[in-house]
Structure 1
Amino acid sequence: MTARFDAIGMVTADMAATLAFYRLLGLDIPADADGQPHVEAALPGGLRLMWDGEEAIKSFAPDFEPPTGEGRIGLAFRCDGPADVDATYAMLTEAGYKGAMAPWDAEWGQRYAQVHDPDGNSVDLFAPLG
């Protein structure tokens, strides 16, 4: 038997707010998913990104305590180019999401920025320079 990496799961305090954030990043999530306890989005390459509301987790793990603070999980989205990193960062921060690091040219050869989703998770935006 061989295990195969298939999905990334995240717990959210506010499903609608979280899904709105990831829709802005281009994930195909149906509008009627906002009130669901469990939501999945297909990713390129066959992986899935999944969200569960805190109450859904508590339904089978009654002692569940949501983690606090930032940086519980980090996701990275590749942008089409350096200007797209800047535009995506601006779009998200203008929509009210927390910018953690404004776009900059990183020493490793990428245009890089970081925002936080509604649950405080780090979301990196990057594109190769040049």
Structure 2
Amino acid sequence: MIAIDLPATLAFYRALGLDIPAEADTAPHVEADLGGGIKLMWDTEETIRSFAPDYEPPASAGRIGICFEFDSPAEVDKAYADLTAAGHQGGKEPWDADWGQRYALVRDPDGNEVSLYASLS
């Protein structure tokens, strides 16, 4: 992901439980190991322009969609409440979805939609 404000973006993902060290806030490139060979990575716009000088960010928000699974519906509610209380934009408050999950939508500081969910059973 390309972050507009890297420290704000990393704080958002830390609030969702990712292990990102504080010193990463000043790095030009950050990686979080999600296990199973999967990594989530962030770069500043300046880093991208260092090898792609003509880079222009997208005109609208929502560069990716990402999901975080929780162990219980109560944890979804708490994560949504904590994130929106911290000033992050809520997309849709938690609800019991027809497909059997407690589900909520929130946006990270770069406008990416983040789904929060847990099984209802």
1:39 to 30, 45, 52: 30
What do the CA deviations read for 1:6-48 (whole angstroms, capped 9, x no partner)?
A: xxxx001111110010000010001001011100011032311
Q: Summarize the alignment of residues 101-112 of structure 1 with structure 2, pairs less than 5 Å apart.
A: 101-112=92-103
Q: Summarize the alignment of residues 36-115 of structure 1 with structure 2, pairs less than 5 Å apart.
A: 36-115=27-106
SS, match of residue 34 in structure 1: helix
Which ranges in structure 1 are unaligned for 5 or more consecutive residues?
1-9
Which ranges in structure 2 are unaligned for 5 or more consecutive residues?
none
CA distance in 2 between partners of 1:79 and 1:50 (Å): 21
Segments ≥4 residues shifted beyond 4 Å = none
CA distance in 2 between partners of 1:22 and 1:102 (Å): 18
Q: Is the 8 A contact 2:73 2:102 kept in 1?
A: yes
Using the aligned pairs only, state the percent identity.
Answer: 64
- The range that moved more, 56-65 or 66-75, is 66-75
Normalised by the length of structure 2, the TM-score is 0.97
1:126 to 113, 117, 121: 117
What do the CA deviations read for 1:71-112 (whole angstroms, capped 9, x no partner)?
A: 220000001111111011001000111000100011111100
CA distance in 2 between partners of 1:14 and 1:36 (Å): 12
How many residue pairs align between the two structures?
Answer: 121
